[in-house]
Amino acid sequence: MAKRVIRTDSDPLLRKTSKEVSKFDDRLKILIDDMFETMDEAPGVGLAAPQVGILKRVIVVDDREEENRKRMCMINPVITRKEGEDCDIEGCLSVPLKQGSVKRATDIDVEYMNLQGEKKSLNARDYFARIIQHEVDHLDGILFTDKAIDIYIPKEAKR
């Protein structure tokens, strides 16, 4: 495993649409392992492949603050249902020193593939739903700042 460089919002690659994964091989496994390591060291709760310079539809997520922790990779994720709405604060590893209020669905269904290429589906709510929506946006070249109602520099970043 290796920590990869996280690209920041000035990088035009982050504005491109990622391609679907069709090969489930050792290279994909290495990418996912590296993404988990990069996310953990950052530290973050989600990371999309474009953030490390790879235009593939791959995300890793970890709702480490929740009681029933979910840590997983999602390949070719598609959100098939969205319900409810909540506005909450988001930040992003690719948008350092900024946060903003973003409206997101509170209850989603997502279909994806696992590392073995098997189709899976998942219902996610609240914080975990927010993480998934944020990371799927990255796959379509969307940053949280595009959806934020307001953007600010948090007090702890001003020190």
Ramachandran bin of 97, using left for φ above 0, alpha for ψ from -120 to 50, beta for the remaining angles = left
3-state helix, strand, coil in the chain (%, to 5): 30, 35, 35
Residue 78's closest CA among 36, 147, 133, 35?
Answer: 133
User: SS3 of 99, please?
Assistant: strand
Query: Which amino acid appears at position 117 of this protein?
Result: G
Sheet architecture: strand order including 86-92: 86-92, 95-104, 150-152
Feature table: binding site for Fe cation: 92, 134, 138
Question: How many degrees, rounded to 5, is the angle at CA 132 between CA 130 and CA 78?
Answer: 130
Cα–Cα distance for residue pair 118/114, rounded to 1 Å: 6
Which amino acids are annotated catalytic? 135
Residues within the annotated binding site? 92, 134, 138
